[in-house]
Amino acid sequence: METERAKAKYDRLNKDEAALLIIDHQSGLFQLVHDHSPVDLEQNVCALADIAKLFKLPTVATTSKEDGPNGPLMPVLRERLPNPKIVRREGEINAWDNAEFVKAVKKTNRKQLIVAGITTDVCVAFVTLSALEAGYKVYVVTDASGSLCIGSTAGALARMVHAGACPMSWFAVASELMRDWREDEPGFKKLMVDHVPNYKHLIDSYKANKED
C-alpha cells in the first residue's frame, strides 16, 4: 500500500495544457437529467463555460443528431463558449468514434482534457475511456454532467476512475487552473460571484464591514 501511495502523482490542471470538451449538452437531452436539478445543472454548465473563457481554454463541443429530439447545443452554452469548434455527429454514440471530433481534439495540442456532458454514463464515460486509452489525462466535471439517475452516475464514475480519470467539480477546476489568488483575482472573484450566490453574500458582507 505504501509503495502504491509513493507512486501516486498529482497531475494538476494547467491552463496552458488543458482543453475543454463539451459532450452533448443539448436542449432535448437536458430533459433526461435527474441526478441534478435543472437549475443547478444549468448554473454549473454555465460556470464551466465561463471558466473556459476566463482561462482561454481551447474548447471542442459536439452534438448528436441535433435535428432530432436531442435538440441543439444549449443556448446558454452557445452564448458563453469562446469560439468553440462544434462537431455535429450524425449517429456515433461515442464521440471518439467520430474522426472529425478526434481531429478537433488533437488540433488543440493539449494533453489535459476537461470533460463534461450528458449523459455521464454514456456520452461522457465513453469519450473519457477512449481518451484515456489514447494517452490523454482526463478530468471529468461531475456537477456539469448529468445522468438519468444517481445510480447510473455512481457506476459510471467508478468505471472512469478505475481507468484513470479524475472526477472534479467546476469550482475545483477553476481553483486548480488559477492556483494563486494573486494571478487573476478579479476574474476569479467575478466567476464566483456570478455562479455561487453564497459567495456573493460573502463579498457583500466583506465590503460592508470595510465601509463601517
Which DSSP symbol is given to 33?
A: -
DSSP three-state, residue 70: coil
Q: Is the pLDDT score of 47 beyond 90?
A: yes
Residue 112 has pLDDT above 70, yes or no: yes
C-alpha cell at 39: 437549475
Decide: 78 and 114 in contact? Cβ < 8 Å: no
Q: Which CATH superfamily is domain 16-178 in?
A: Isochorismatase-like (3.40.50.850)
Q: DSSP alpha helices (H): ranges in 19-164?
A: 38-54, 75-80, 99-107, 125-133, 150-163
**Helix count (H) and strand count (E) of the chain?**
9, 6
> Using CA atoms, how far apart are residues 71 and 67, in angstroms rounded to an integer?
6
34 vs 32: CA distance, rounded Å: 6
123 among known catalytic residues:
yes
Residue boundaries of the structural domains of the chain: 16-178, 180-212
Q: How confident is the model at residue 113 (pLDDT cuts 50, 70, 90)?
A: very high
d(CA 207, CA 192): 16
What are the φ/ψ torsions at residue 90 (nearest 5 degrees)?
-100, -15
Segment 94-107 shows an average pLDDT of 97
Angle at which helices 38-54 and 181-195 cross, to 10°? 150
pTM for this entry: 0.90
**Percent of the chain, pLDDT > 70?**
88
- Look at residue 10 in the predicted model and tell me its pLDDT: 85
Return the DSSP state at 123.
I
Is-contact 19 108, C-beta < 8 A? yes
- For residues 2-29, average pLDDT: 85
Q: pLDDT by residue (tens digit) across 192-210?
A: 888 887 766 666 666 666 6
Q: Which member of 46, 123, 149, 166 is catalytic?
A: 123
Spatial separation of the C-alpha atoms in residues 172 and 88, rounded to whole Å: 29
Query: pLDDT tens for residues 154-191?
Result: 999 999 999 999 999 999 999 999 988 776 667 888 88
pLDDT at 3 over 90: no
Spatial contact of 146 and 178, defined as CB atoms under 8 Å apart: no
Residue 90: strand, helix, or coil: coil
What is the reported pLDDT for 175?
A: 92
Q: Is there a contact between 160 and 125 (Cβ–Cβ < 8 Å)?
A: yes
Q: What is the CA radius of gyration of the chain?
A: 18
Q: Nearest CA to 11 among 199, 142, 168?
A: 168
- Arithmetic mean of pLDDT over the chain: 89
The pLDDT of 14-24, averaged and rounded, is 97
